[in-house]
Structure 1
């Protein structure tokens, strides 16, 4: 079975049977003709250690979206960097050397045309660079159809996108560039547990003949004020085609401060 057909079946199976579309949606819904809105959020997490060991790490994310009655445009940025000092040299002449242990950044952009209150056509662009992954960089472009769902009117939210795309990637070990068609799927799910606590999960799949890339981001976000929140997150990134000796899955656990710009 072709990757596109497999992806469509997997995404369809992931939808709960009881989900139904609603006319009024919290994040991607009908906007009056004379109104437009900006939304956005930024989050940052930092950690530093000093003493017998010296380490620093930071991760940041930024998302901004502009939406009117007919369109929604969105950009997002993320970055991860970590470094540590290690002992080198002999016992007589010890030397502490700083080494970078993680260096990754990602940029994404999308534009959607609303077909009706719950359906849209969307184009997406994504580029990432990672000094420690099987692919030093990956760039993808996709187009597809999306639909927004709600379980009820309490803020529970689900959006799904599926469509074809194109991918270029640089193999870090063999230093060659791969390119080819892909099938792209995306799921965005949010579930309010309490008045100030939300479960958030996004799943991105880009499947082609050379490699299938999947990234899942799960988070629990607790609001402290109207604009400030704390978020505990777990990210898993998976490539099916990697060199011998490399892990297929990278995992990242974070505790971030979130600021809402809405």
Structure 2
């Protein structure tokens, strides 16, 4: 599959995730309800099982479902907000759930995106150290674990996006979350996606995961200096891989 095809696949997965939410709300499912099996969802929606798996990965990364071995897949308590947002405006589900307006994919220049990320994300971490809750840290760990289990680029990128979003949300600043939603929208754009995919490899994914663990460990320890330094190191590494920069 070429780069454009993979981008369309990721977008298709996100749209299927919204469709699963809409169909579940229509049939009366809610927080705590068990979803149909992957096979049944594929039949009900008229899509492939691979598409359903990508959609479920997106829902899991957003914290809307949990998978329990031997029992099935269940909507989490957070899914209640998703259903409320869906009833209000289906096109805003993903962003309303996360607590800020849904980002539309925007093709900003990747160099510009990285410049703003390097200005914004490290400087936000002292706020995260100050205000993050036990639940925030649990969400960070969940996203890191999701990245460990990702089997392809699309799944890893979903968890990567989710982790950075959760970290910024842990500052508990609505304005910061709104600002970061613009950065996230750029990471959904085709220009960013093409460049990121071309630079991706299993080795780099492993290094990014090490960076992610270092960031979360420092935040858990309430060590602002270490967290800021770990984030700067990570973003410098990403910029180097994307843009050919040197440290």
The TM tier, using the shorter chain, reads under 0.3
**If each structure's strand is expressed as a fraction of its own residues, which one has the higher value?**
1
Q: Whose helix proportion is higher, 1 or 2?
A: 2
Greater RCO, 1 or 2 (C-alpha within 8 Å, sep 6+) = 2
Q: Normalising by structure 2, report the TM-score.
A: 0.25
* TM-score (normalizing by structure 1): 0.24
